[in-house]
């Protein structure tokens, strides 16, 4: 298996956690005899500092020329006074648009070992396993017109969707649900917004092609509450860009930390992989960052871009194993007396070790 991966580590903790993720990919390549190559590029605040733009054309070219893009995080308080189109985040939105992936998959699961890290009671989060399918190229993030008129003190953003944009992301949600617990919850605000009415009508229509999958609709406000009340009720949650941004952060509470959440964006020319967490400038360089979100993102690279499902699972199981063994970065150490506090680097090493053991075991089983 050959895979060319563009690595855009970005800002803050991005480089630290991405290093652990690429180490894991290197280990999988070595243990399985695969040929993975890595090409680095600048994005976000570091790119503004070095090149004066959050997405230099060299980065864009490298990304388009790769089989998968692995991104760390973007965002730097230094640029807070800039308008949205000049900020580090603009680089991320531009690359999302250029790569063309419209379905952002954000799994959020409850880890038994981390039950104490979640502020929710263990019996509430037990068996929670939600896969958010967030539409990533439409809605308020990209709708025109958009402006802020400082003379009239008026500003506008536009929430816009076409039927086709809803159809393509809905199909991905139904396909994924049919391989899981066969339920799609579509989230909108159809009691107020025309865009949501189009969304709901379109999703309802597409559901007819997937008779084995149950569809339910939820309004985004009550959904925000249901996710906290009975997370195990949800399987695939399909929603538009901004609602998905908000709800997927909320669902971090189920897992115990935003630092645990991976994501993959599929459907475009090149898949884009990024942990859900941001650049966390307050802890950058302190060794406190949790690399597990980035490592689980690497597992998604193996699953969705390399077709190495077994290896993807091996990485996920290695993460389970280190958590069961009690290793914790600071963000997931809460309320856990037996936790063994480790640094970003140490956490990466423990996952690597658990992974090597499980791949070794698999290979020796095949050998006999």
240 near ligand IPM, judged by CB under 6 A: no
* d(C-alpha 195, C-alpha 231), whole Å: 26
SS3 247: helix
Q: Nearest CA to 25 among 38, 13, 10?
A: 38
Residues 48 to 77 in contact with ligand IPM, rule: CB under 6 A: 75
The residue within the footprint of ligand IPM, chosen from 92, 251, 351, 354 (CB under 6 A), is 92
Residue 266, token pair as written in the block = 């599929």
Residue identified by tokens 């929670």 is 128
Residue 92, binding choice from ligand IPM, Mn ion, none, Cβ under 5 to 8 Å by partner class: ligand IPM
Measured at the alpha carbon of residue 353, what is the angle toward residues 293 and 112, in degrees to the nearest 5? 50
Q: Distance between CA 95 and CA 57 in Å, rounded?
A: 10
296 binds ligand IPM (CB under 6 A): no
Of 183, 249, 336, 349, catalytic: 249
Q: State which of residues 16, 20, 76, 89 lies at the interface with ligand IPM (CB under 6 A).
A: 89
Compute how many other C-beta atoms are within 10 angstroms of the C-beta atom of residue 209. 10
Q: Smaller CB distance to ligand IPM: residue 95 or 213? A: 95
Q: Which residue, 272, 269, 288, 271, is CA-closest to 280?
A: 288
245: annotated active-site residue? yes
Min. distance of Cβ 249 from ligand IPM in angstroms?
7
Q: Which of 11, 76, 102, 141 is catalytic?
A: 141
CA distances from 187 to 124, 146, 218, 237, 240 (A): 21, 24, 5, 7, 8
Q: Taking CB under 6 A as the rule, does residue 311 contact ligand IPM? A: no
Is 89 one of the binding residues for Mn ion (CB under 5 A)? no
Distances in Å between the Cα of 68 and the Cα atoms of 59, 116, 270, 276 are 13, 35, 6, 17
Mask 198-237, x = binds ligand IPM (CB under 6 A)?
----------------------------------------
Q: Which of 111, 188, 189, 331 is catalytic?
A: 189
Tell me, yes or no, if 221 is annotated catalytic. Answer: yes
Residue 89 binds: one of Mn ion, ligand IPM, none (C-beta under 5 to 8 A by kind): ligand IPM
Question: Smallest distance, Å, CB 31 to ligand IPM?
Answer: 31
Q: Considering the rule CB under 6 A, would residue 347 count as an interface residue with ligand IPM?
A: no
How far, in Å, CA of 310 to CA of 307, rounded? Answer: 9
Whether the Cβ atoms of residue 91 and residue 51 lie closer than 8 Å to each other: no
Based on CB atoms, which residue is closest to ligand IPM, 89 or 316?
A: 89
Shortest separation between residue 264's beta carbon and Mn ion, angstroms: 15
Annotated active-site residue in 245, 288, 311, 331: 245
Examine the residue annotation and report whether 249 is marked as an active-site residue of this protein.
yes
Q: Which is nearer to Mn ion, 5 or 93 (CB)?
A: 93
Nearest distance from C-beta of residue 191 to ligand IPM, angstroms? 24
Nearest Cα to 106, choosing from 68, 74, 128, 134?
Answer: 134
311 is catalytic: no
Among 240, 245, 274, 311, binds Mn ion (CB under 5 A): 245
The stretch among 113-121, 145-153, 205-213, 239-247 that binds Mn ion (CB under 5 A) is 239-247
In whole angstroms, the minimum distance from the beta carbon of 306 to ligand IPM comes to 23
Q: Which is nearer to Mn ion, 131 or 206 (CB)?
A: 131
Does an H or E element contain 104, and which? strand 103-109
Strands 183-188 vs 147-149: parallel, antiparallel or unpaired: unpaired
Task: Return the number of the residue (240 or 245) whose C-beta is nearest Mn ion.
Answer: 245
CA–CA separation, 63 and 70 (whole Å)? 9
Closest residue by beta carbon to ligand IPM = 89
Helix ranges (H only) for the chain are 14-32, 45-51, 57-64, 88-99, 122-125, 163-178, 194-207, 220-229, 241-250, 252-255, 292-304, 309-324, 344-367
Q: Which two tokens stand for residue 3?
A: 């895979």
Q: Which residues bind ligand IPM (CB under 6 A)?
A: 75, 89, 92, 245, 276
Site residues, Mn ion (CB under 5 A): 245
Active-site residues, by number, are 141, 189, 221, 245, 249
């Amino acid at each position: 298996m050959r895979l060319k991966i563009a690595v855009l580590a970005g800002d803050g903790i991005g480089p630290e956690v991405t290093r652990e993720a690429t180490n894991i990919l290197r280990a999988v390549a070595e243990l399985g005899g695969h040929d993975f190559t890595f090409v680095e590029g600048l994005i976000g605040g570091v790119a503004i500092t070095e090149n004066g733009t959050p997405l230099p054309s060299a980065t864009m070219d490298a990304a388009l020329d790769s089989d998968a893009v692995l991104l760390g995080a973007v965002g730097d308080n230094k640029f807070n006074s800039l308008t949205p189109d000049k900020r580090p985040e603009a680089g991320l939105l531009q690359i999302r648009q250029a790569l063309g992936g419209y379905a952002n998959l954000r799994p959020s699961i409850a880890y038994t070992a981390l039950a104490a890290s979640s502020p929710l009671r263990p019996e509430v989060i037990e068996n929670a396993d939600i896969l958010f399918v967030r539409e990533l190229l439409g809605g308020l993030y990209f709708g025109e017109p958009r402006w802020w008129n400082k003379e009239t003190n008026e500003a506008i953003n536009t929430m816009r969707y076409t039927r086709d944009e809803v159809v393509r992301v809905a199909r991905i949600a139904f396909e994924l649900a049919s391989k899981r617990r066969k339920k799609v919850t579509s989230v909108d605000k159809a009691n107020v917004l025309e865009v949501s009415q189009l969304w709901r009508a379109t999703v309802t229509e597409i559901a007819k092609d997937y008779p084995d999958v149950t569809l339910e609709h939820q309004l985004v406000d009550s959904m925000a509450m249901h996710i906290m009340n009975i997370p195990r009720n949800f399987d695939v949650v399909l929603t538009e860009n901004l609602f998905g941004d908000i709800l997927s952060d909320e669902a971090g509470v189920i897992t115990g930390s935003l630092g645990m959440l991976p994501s993959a964006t599929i459907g475009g020319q090149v898949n884009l992989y990024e942990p859900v967490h941001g650049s966390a400038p307050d802890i950058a360089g302190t060794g406190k960052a949790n690399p597990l979100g980035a490592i689980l993102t690497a597992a998604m690279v193996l699953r969705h871009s390399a077709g190495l499902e077994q290896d993807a699972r091996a990485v996920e199981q290695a993460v389970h194993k280190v958590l069961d063994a009690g290793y914790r970065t600071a963000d997931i150490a809460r309320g856990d007396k037996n936790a063994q506090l480790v640094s970003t680097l140490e956490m990466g090493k423990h996952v690597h070790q658990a992974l090597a053991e499980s791949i070794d075991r698999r290979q020796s089983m095949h050998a006999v």
